[in-house]
Amino acid sequence: MKLSSSLMYAGNPREAADQVTALEQAGLDTIWVAEAYGFDSPTLMGYLAAKTETIEIGSAILNIYSRTPGALLQTAAGLDNVSGGRAILGLGASGPQVIEGFHGVPYANQLGRTREIVDLIRRGLRREKLTNDGIFKLPLSKEDGAVTGLGKPLKLLTHPERDSVPIYIAALGQKSVQGTAEYADGWLPFLYYPEKAKSVWGEVVANGTAKRPDSLAPLEVVAGGMCAIGEGPETKALLDFARPLIALYVGGMGARGKNFYNDLFCDYGFEKEAKEIQDLYLDGKKQEAEALVPMEFLEAMNLVGPESYVKERIAAYQESGVTNLQITPAVEDAPALVRRMKELIDG
């Protein structure tokens, strides 16, 4: 099992990126760079590529709406080149708030759009001419009602570092996860509860895997949480720092009936808490919503506590199928934590 982390920043990502070299030297395998509606991910990934030598650099995630398939292809090829073949392209649908509210693009056709984009990127990296008959009708033509269009299909002008860049999909819904298991290189689930993952997604992962082409390696799974090793109540108290983030997603990322994360919380068996957290959060009572996040979930999702307990959580993640454990260090000496976690994983 690999070990990864996310680029954490508040205001100045360049300062945080400078710390990644120390994590690389400590043995971190992968660094993930978020985008949401902050700084764009590819710029920071390119900066990291120049600062590092061995660590994998992944986007987590680039949404599938604000860039065309051709632009995503260019990004994948460009990042893989400047990193010397260390890029991972993490894609996802994001949500209506970001796609419609920030980018001004209709949030629709998530499943078909994702599948076609993955196909177009893979063919583009092999320098095949980009043609498509589905959602993305390439080349465009005036007969299709397009105001402008390509005169003929084009292939990527430059030669990629690799003819295949790993493509990971952020997915939570049943159909999305099944598609991910079928055609993606990796899966990026969020708010992952290892012991309950099989009951929520086991069947659809199996169905998708049954249709998986032999040309693809087994599906990589990236999941994890906050990490700190230590005894005493002060270490366990760190779990409270995860409450605002979980309450934000379960309570505030979407209207009632249109929140994927709230649905997932219900699937985990927290229906009562999911409703109450959402009601409080949408009413502006954020701290009250945070207080209702179950300690059971906080303990299961994160890797915080005595070393013996952290080892149990590592085993739980591994047994659930996770191949890349993503941690958010909650300690001052993050490189030291990475070194110890690598020892626990390998040992």
Average pLDDT for 116-133: 94
Q: Closest Cα partner for 78 from 113, 43, 53?
A: 43
* Residue 236 included in any domain: no
Could you say which DSSP state residue 54 is in? S
Amino acid at 67: R
* Residue 342 included in any domain: yes
pLDDT in the model for residue 236: 85
pLDDT tens, 311-345? 999 999 999 999 999 999 999 999 999 999 999 99
The token duo for 341 is 């976690």
pLDDT in the model for residue 143: 59
Mean residue pLDDT across the chain: 93
Please count the structural domains in the chain. Answer: 1
Range in 17-21, 28-32, 79-83, 119-123 with the lowest mean pLDDT: 17-21
* Residue 316 included in any domain: yes
In percent, the amount of the chain with pLDDT more than 70 equals 96
pLDDT in the model for residue 132: 85
Contacts for 48 with CB less than 8 Å, ≥ 6 apart: 7, 17, 20, 31, 33, 55, 57, 83
Please report how the helices 174-183 and 194-210 are oriented relative to each other, as an axis angle in degrees rounded to 10. 60
Looking at per-residue pLDDT, the higher value among 347 and 249 belongs to: 249
Looking at per-residue pLDDT, the higher value among 10 and 19 belongs to: 19
How far from 335 is each of 25, 176, 219, 274, 328, CA to CA, in Å? 8, 35, 28, 35, 12
Average pLDDT for 194-204: 98
Amino acid at 84: G
Amino acid at 159: H
End-to-end CA distance of the chain: 11
Average pLDDT for 80-103: 94
* Residue 293 included in any domain: no
pLDDT in the model for residue 222: 98
- The CATH number given to whatever domain includes residue 73 is 3.20.20.30
Strands 137-138 and 132-133: antiparallel
Q: What is the largest CA-CA distance in the chain?
A: 70
Phi and psi torsions of 33, nearest 5°: -120, 115
pLDDT in the model for residue 18: 84
| Domain assignment of residue 58, given as a range | 2-228+302-346
Tell me: pLDDT of 284 over 70.
Answer: yes
pLDDT in the model for residue 156: 93
* Residue 52 included in any domain: yes
Tell me: pLDDT of 138 over 80.
Answer: no
Tell me: pLDDT of 187 over 60.
Answer: yes
Tell me: pLDDT of 144 over 60.
Answer: no
* Residue 148 included in any domain: yes
* Residue 76 included in any domain: yes
pLDDT in the model for residue 170: 97
Go through the chain and tell me how many residues it has: 347
pLDDT tens, 14-56? 888 889 999 999 999 999 999 988 899 999 999 999 999 999 9
Q: Closest Cα partner for 93 from 72, 107, 75?
A: 107
* Residue 165 included in any domain: yes
pLDDT tens, 149-182? 555 788 999 999 999 999 999 999 999 999 999 9
Average pLDDT for 214-230: 97
Buried b (16+ CB within 10 A) or exposed e, 13-48: beebbeebeebbebbbbbbbbbbeeebebbebbbbb
Whole-model pTM? 0.94
pLDDT in the model for residue 140: 62
